[in-house]
Structure 1
C-alpha cells in the first residue's frame, strides 16, 4: 500500500475553456480554442450596382486557384477615389464560393491616423473575429502577426483589405492556409505589391450610359422621367464616379421638390462637392508631387505628352520622376503611347487646389510656360511644314532665338504635321487660355502657326474658331498686320465651308488694313486671297486682275515663293475661264518656279492643274499620266487633302475615257480623306459613288 499522500486535480465552478495543470512555468503561453463561429464580415451590397461585368469576370478568374500555385491569391482593385473599387470588391466577394475558414474585412482607411495605420490594432480585430479571447491576445505586433498566421493556417480564408495605402499594410493579413485569397482596394498602384505577384484589376469611371443607369436606379424611375435631360446632365457631371453619383442622388432623395436642373446649375457653379473624394488622396502626395498636380490642373486639356508636363512643372528636369507619384495615385493615367490623361473631375480638383494654395502670379507663370512651350513647338512645326519663305507676321528669329528645332531630318515635315495634328485640340485650348490670360501676342502668333496644319489637313471649323481668337488677340495687341493676315487667310476656310458672305466680309476688312500698312508682301497675299475667292465664286476674269496685282507686288518685293504660288493660281483661273492652252503654259511656268522654291506640296498641286488643263484640251492620256504623277508627289509628302483633289480630277478623266473601275477607286480614296477631315465634300462624293453603283 502506498503511504504517500493521494493527489487529485479538481476545479470548482464552471470552466469556459481548457484547463491546464502545470508545474513550474516560465514565459507566455497562448492557448487556442475552437472558434465559436466562422466570421463572415464581408457583407453583401445593399445599394444599387451596375456594370463592372468585365472587372468582376477577371477578378473571379484570378481567385480561382486553378493554376496550381501554392499560397494565397492577392487581387488588387485600383483606381481613383470614388470610382467604385470597394463596391466591386464586395460584389466579387459575394460571387465566389464560400471560404471554409471565413471572411475578414479590414477598413484600413478608418484606422489611418497622422502616423499611419495601426496595423497591430487591425490584426487584433481579426484575431477576435477568428475567436481568440481578449485576455490571451498578444500585446506586440510580432505576437499578433504570428498568432494570425496560426489561426489562418487551417482552412482557406478570404480577406478584404479596404483603402490600402502601402504594400506593408497587406503582408501581415495574408492567410497561411492554401486556397486563401486577399482582395485589396487602393487608390494607388502599390508597385511593390505587384512584384509580389499580386494581380491587378483596374477600375475606371463608368461610361455615360452606365452612370445614367446608376443615377436613375438610385433616384427612382419617376424622378428620372420628370427631368430626363437634366438627369443625364447631372450624371455626366459626376464623370462616371459612383460615389459622386450617390452624393447627388442622396441630395435629390433628401429634397424631393428640388429640381434636378437646379442641382445641375449649383454644381456647375461650384463643383467642390463633386471633387471632394480626391482631397484625402491629394493630401497623401509628397510635396513635390502635390505641386506638379496643381500645375497640371492649369493645363487646359486632360490629354497631354511628357513635354507639356515638363513645361508645366516648376523644375522640368524632375518632371518625369515626380510624375510617377501621380501615376501611382491614379491622378494621371499613362495610356501606353507616350501620352497621359487626367479625368475632368481630377483636373477640376487640381485646379481648385492650385487656386487655394498657389498665388495668382504663380498660376500665371505656369500658364506662361505652357503657352510658350506650345507656341515654340507650333512655330517650329510651321517652319518644317511650309518652309522659311512663307509670309508670316510673327518674327521667328526673335521668337525662337536660342531654341532648338525639334523636327529635323528627311521626315521633318511629316513629323511636324503628325505632331501638330495629334496636338491640335491642345493647341486650340492653350490658345483660348492665352487669350483669357491676357497673353495676346502669344495667342495670335499661335493662331498664325496653326494655319500650317489647316491648309494641309483642312479642319475648317477649327480653322475658323482659332482665327477668331487670334484676331481678337491681335486687335488687343494692336497689331493690324496680324489682323489683316489672319482675317484674309481664313477666307479660304469660309469659302470651302460655303460661307461666302463671311469670306467676302473678311477680305473686305483685311484689304484696306493691308493697304495702309506699307507692307508689300502682306498686301500681295491679301490680293492673292481675293483672287482665290473670286475664282471660287465663278468670277475668273476679275480673279485674274487680283492675281495681277499680287504678282506685281511679289515681284517688286523679290518674293520667289509668292510669285510662284500666284502664278499657279493664275494658271488655274485661266483654265477655269476656258483658256486651256494659255493655262497650260502658265502652269508649267508655275511648276518651274515652285521647284526653285522648292515646295513639293505646291508642285503636286501644279501638276494637278496641268493635268486638268490637258483634259480641257481633250488630251486625256496626257492628263491621266500627269494626274497620276501629281497623286504620287502629294501622297509622298502626306498632303492628303490635295491628293484627294487630284484623285477627283483623275476620276473625271477616267469617266471620260470610260474607265469606271479607275473612276470608282479614285472617288473612294477621295471620300476616305474628306471623311477623315470632316469636310462638306464627303456627302457629294458619297452621292456620286451611289450613282455609279
Structure 2
C-alpha cells in the first residue's frame, strides 16, 4: 500500500519537552519529520493531538481492517494490563508485544500506521522504526536515542543500552518495528526488554516468537467486500453495480492482495483506462508480478530513465534513498541516469511518474534537502528478478560506486557518524545483493571495479571499529582482504586489509587469528622501502608486540615493538603524529606486564618526550595522550604499593579524560577502574592500621577514612562495570577485568557471597578466552582466594591460591609483583591451619619481591 507525503512536525508534548529541546539545540534533524512518503494525490488526515512522533502518513485510501485492529488492541491493551499495574514494587514491567504477520503486500505497514495514529492520544511517545535489517534498525534506534536527548558515545551498544534505560523509566510509549525479517538473537538485542510500553512488530514470519512472549495477529488478503471498497475509492469511481462488478473481477484475478490491487489501480488511473481494458492486457492467471511487469513495460516505452532509477534502487535499501545523494554523486552512475540527475526538473518528473504508478514512494521535503525515495521490498525483488545477468552486473556496480563515492573518507571522525550510520543500510544492501559474473575470465561482477568495492569495505570496517562493533568490523575487513587477494595486484592494499583483520581479531581477544593475519601483512611489506609500506610495517610490528604480550611472550613482544621504534627513528615523518610516542608507551606496557616496573616507568617518561611539540596550540588528542601516560605511571605506582602517589596520578588523569572524553569513554572508564582499586586498597590499609592502633580517636579516624574511601571506590567503579557490561559482547575480557576489581571491592564491603559470584564469573571468562594457564585467570584466582577464606573455606582458598601461584611463576617468573599478593594470602591460609613456619616463609617471600621493586 502507498502512503502519502508527510505533513508538518506535530506539536510539542509536555512529557518530552526537555528531550525535544535537547534534540533541537544539538542540531538534530528528525529523519522522518512527518511520514515516509506516498502518493501526491493522497492527503494528510486531520492532525490528531498527541506527543511528537514520526509516523508515516496514512494513505487516503486505507480501508477496513476493523477486525484485525481490534485484535491488536486486545493484545496490547488486554485484561493483563490491570495485572501489570499490580506487580510487586521491586518487579519491573515488561513491554507488551504484538506481532502483526502476513504475506508481503498484505498491508501490514498500513495497518500499523492506522493503529498507531488512532492511539496517539493514549501514548506519551510514539516512534516508527524501519526494521528491515540490523543496520537499518540500528540506524533508526540511534537517531531515536538522539531525538530523546541521549548523548552519543563511541560504542553503539552503550547508546542503545542508555536508550533502553531511558525507556524503562518512561510510561505509555509505543514503538513500531516495521518489516522485521525474522526473529533471532542478534535482532532481539534491538528490542527493549523492560518498561511500561508497547511494541508492535510487522513481519512475514509467524514462527519463532515464543522467546519474546509475543502475541501474533495474522493479516490476510482483503475480504471481498473490503477489497471492492478499496478499489472503488482508489479508482475514484462511483460505487455503481457495474463498477463493483468490474472491481470484483479485478480483485478475484489478483487474489485480493492489497499491494497488487494498489498497483493495478494506480496503473489504471495513470493510463486513464478502464478496469475492463486493464484486465484485457493481463495474462491468464495474472499475479502481482504481472501487474508490476505491465506497469514497468508501459513506463519504459516513454521514460527508460525512470526504469533505470528503479534498477538502481533495487540494489539499495528499501527506504531513505536520498535525492541529494543521487544528484551530488551522479558522476558515478550510468550515462542515461547521470544525465537525468543533472536536471532537478527532469528528476522530479521521472520520480512523479514512478510514484503515480505505485512503484516508488517519496518522503521528506526537497526544500530542506530531506527528500528521499523508497521501494516496497516486493517491488525490489520483482525488478531484480527481471534483470539479465549483464543488467545485474551493471546496476550492482553502479550501486557500489555510488556508496563508495558518498561514504565519508574519514569515518573515524565524530562529524562523520550521522552520515555513516545513515548509509549503513544501503551499504549492507549493496553487499547482500552483490552480483557476480560467471565468465571464464574471472569477472568479478559488481566488483568489475574491484578497488571501489574494496575501498568501500575498508571505510565501512573502519567506521564499525570506531563505534566499537568489532565483530561486524571484522566481517567487512575480511571481505575486503578476500576481494583484494583475488581482484587486485595492490600489495599495499592487501597488506593494509590483513593488518585491519589482525587488529579486529586482537580487539576480540582472538590471538591466533590476530597473529596469523599480522604476519601475513608483514610478509607483504617485506623488502619494500616506500614510506607507506614503512608506516604499515611499523603498525604491524606494534600489533604483533601486543599479541605476544597477551601470550606472555614478553621478549618477542619487546623485539617487535622495538623494531617499530627503529623504523620511526630513521624517518623524518615520525614528527607528524603520536606513533613514535605510542610505541614507547607500548614498550612500557610490556615491561609492566612482565613485572619490570622501573623499565616501564622509564619508557612512559620517554614516551612523553616523544610527543611532537605543538606549542600552546597542542591538539586535544596530545593532551589526552599525556593523561594516558599519567594513568600508566599511576598504575606502576600501584603495583609498587605507592598508593598515595598512584591516587594522585590517576585522579589527575581522570580529570583530563572526563573533560575531553566524557564519563562513558573507554579511557575514562579504565582510569576510574584503577583509581577505584587504589582507593579500595588504601581503605584496607587504613582498616589494618585501625586494628593495630591503641588510640581510640586514631582508630575512629582511620575507620572513618576507610569507609569514605570505600564509598568513593564504589561510586567510581559502579558506572565502569555498567559501561563494560554494555560493551561485554565485543569486550568480554575487559569486562572480566572490571569484575575482578568489583569482586575485591565487594569483599572489602563485607559482601563475600556477592564477591565470590563476581570473581567466579571473571575467571570463567578468562578460562574460556585464554585457557586455564594464562596469568589473567590467575589474577581472578588471586582475588578469589581471600573471598573463600572469608567464607570459612580456607582449604579451598589455599588450593585456588596455589594454582594461581603456579600459573604466575610459569608465565611470569619468580619475581613478578603479582606474586606478592599470592604469597601474602597463602601465608594467611598457612596460619589458619597452624603452620606458622610456612606462613613466615611466605611472608618473607612477599617482602623479597616487594624490595626488588
TM range (shorter): 0.5 to 0.7
Alignment pair present for 1:624 and 2:632? no
Q: Deviations over 1:475-509 (max 9, x none)?
A: 22022222222212322211222321111111222
Alignment pair present for 1:607 and 2:627? yes
User: Which range moved further: 328-337 or 563-572?
Assistant: 328-337
On the 8 A contact 1:464/1:493 being kept in 2, the answer is yes
Q: 1:662 to 1:344 in 2, by over 3 A?
A: same
Give the Å deviation of 1:523.
1.9
Quote the Cα distance in structure 2 between the aligned partners of 1:448 and 1:323: 33
Give the Å deviation of 1:524.
1.8
Give the Å deviation of 1:665.
3.5
Q: 1:291 to 1:586 in 2, by over 3 A?
A: same
Q: Deviations over 1:654-691 (max 9, x none)?
A: 5445323323333245236516x754358648966985
Alignment pair present for 1:437 and 2:446? yes
Alignment pair present for 1:550 and 2:564? yes
Give the Å deviation of 1:550.
0.5
Quote the Cα distance in structure 2 between the aligned partners of 1:685 and 1:277: 61
Q: 1:379 to 1:414 in 2, by over 3 A?
A: closer
User: Structure 1 residue aligned with 2:539, among 508, 517, 525?
Assistant: 525
Give the Å deviation of 1:294.
1.8
Alignment pair present for 1:504 and 2:502? no
Q: 1:301 to 1:56 in 2, by over 3 A?
A: closer
Give the Å deviation of 1:530.
1.0
Gaps spanning 5+ residues in structure 2: where?
1-62, 74-111, 121-178, 180-201, 205-217, 252-260, 270-284, 436-443, 638-642, 682-708, 747-753, 755-853
User: Structure 2 residue aligned with 1:491, among 492, 497, 502?
Assistant: 502
Quote the Cα distance in structure 1 between the aligned partners of 2:290 and 2:554: 63
Quote the Cα distance in structure 2 between the aligned partners of 1:635 and 1:61: 39
Quote the Cα distance in structure 2 between the aligned partners of 1:474 and 1:454: 20
Match of 2:141 in 1: none
Give the Å deviation of 1:583.
3.4
Q: Deviations over 1:82-102 (max 9, x none)?
A: 9979727956x9xxxxxxxxx
Gaps spanning 5+ residues in structure 1: where?
1-42, 63-78, 94-103, 130-158, 164-184, 194-250, 252-271, 386-412
Match of 1:147 in 2: none
Alignment pair present for 1:298 and 2:331? no
Quote the Cα distance in structure 1 between the aligned partners of 2:586 and 2:119: 66
Alignment pair present for 1:348 and 2:365? no
Match of 1:449 in 2: 459
Alignment pair present for 1:663 and 2:716? yes
Q: Secondary structure at the match of 1:423?
A: helix
Q: Secondary structure at the match of 1:501?
A: helix
Match of 1:479 in 2: 490
Match of 2:427 in 1: 427
Alignment pair present for 1:416 and 2:416? yes
Match of 2:99 in 1: none
Counterparts of 1:583-594 in structure 2, within 5 Å, are: 583-591=600-608, 593-594=610-611
Give the Å deviation of 1:437.
1.9
Q: 1:601 to 1:452 in 2, by over 3 A?
A: farther
Counterparts of 1:180-329 in structure 2, within 5 Å, are: 186=262, 275-276=289-290, 278-280=292-294, 282=296, 287=303, 288-299=305-316, 304-310=321-327, 311=329, 313-314=337-338, 315-318=340-343, 321=348, 322-326=350-354, 329=358
Could you say which structure has the higher helix fraction? 2
Q: Secondary structure at the match of 1:490?
A: helix
Match of 1:11 in 2: none
Compute the TM-score of the two structures, normalised by the length of structure 1. Answer: 0.53
Counterparts of 1:36-51 in structure 2, within 5 Å, are: none
On the 8 A contact 2:676/2:714 being kept in 1, the answer is no
Quote the Cα distance in structure 2 between the aligned partners of 1:277 and 1:126: 20
Match of 1:152 in 2: none
Match of 1:66 in 2: none
Q: Deviations over 1:272-309 (max 9, x none)?
A: 97855544554565734333112211336766444554
Match of 1:680 in 2: 732
Quote the Cα distance in structure 1 between the aligned partners of 2:118 and 2:634: 69
**Paired residues, number:** 451
Alignment pair present for 1:466 and 2:499? no
Quote the Cα distance in structure 1 between the aligned partners of 2:662 and 2:590: 25
Quote the Cα distance in structure 2 between the aligned partners of 1:276 and 1:679: 51
User: Structure 1 residue aligned with 2:401, among 372, 383, 399?
Assistant: 372
Give the Å deviation of 1:57.
6.1
Q: 1:685 to 1:540 in 2, by over 3 A?
A: closer
Bigger Rg, structure 1 or 2: 1
Give the Å deviation of 1:549.
0.5
Quote the Cα distance in structure 1 between the aligned partners of 2:249 and 2:343: 34
Q: Deviations over 1:174-223 (max 9, x none)?
A: xxxxxxxxxxx845999xx9xxxxxxxxxxxxxxxxxxxxxxxxxxxxxx
Compute the TM-score of the two structures, normalised by the length of structure 2. Answer: 0.44
Quote the Cα distance in structure 2 between the aligned partners of 1:415 and 1:59: 34
Q: 1:686 to 1:622 in 2, by over 3 A?
A: closer
Q: 1:449 to 1:126 in 2, by over 3 A?
A: closer
Quote the Cα distance in structure 1 between the aligned partners of 2:674 and 2:223: 58
On the 8 A contact 1:487/1:510 being kept in 2, the answer is yes
Q: 1:543 to 1:323 in 2, by over 3 A?
A: farther
On the 8 A contact 1:275/1:348 being kept in 2, the answer is no
Quote the Cα distance in structure 2 between the aligned partners of 1:602 and 1:347: 49
Quote the Cα distance in structure 2 between the aligned partners of 1:340 and 1:687: 48
On the 8 A contact 1:484/1:514 being kept in 2, the answer is yes
Quote the Cα distance in structure 1 between the aligned partners of 2:515 and 2:528: 21
Alignment pair present for 1:571 and 2:588? yes
On the 8 A contact 1:495/1:536 being kept in 2, the answer is no
Match of 2:11 in 1: none
Give the Å deviation of 1:342.
3.7
Q: Secondary structure at the match of 1:546?
A: helix
User: Structure 1 residue aligned with 2:524, among 488, 491, 513?
Assistant: 513
Give the Å deviation of 1:124.
7.5
Match of 2:17 in 1: none
Q: Secondary structure at the match of 1:381?
A: coil
Q: 1:642 to 1:275 in 2, by over 3 A?
A: farther
Quote the Cα distance in structure 1 between the aligned partners of 2:561 and 2:296: 61
Q: 1:44 to 1:375 in 2, by over 3 A?
A: closer
Q: 1:455 to 1:582 in 2, by over 3 A?
A: farther
Q: Secondary structure at the match of 1:87?
A: coil
Quote the Cα distance in structure 2 between the aligned partners of 1:470 and 1:127: 57
Quote the Cα distance in structure 1 between the aligned partners of 2:421 and 2:655: 27
Q: 1:105 to 1:612 in 2, by over 3 A?
A: closer
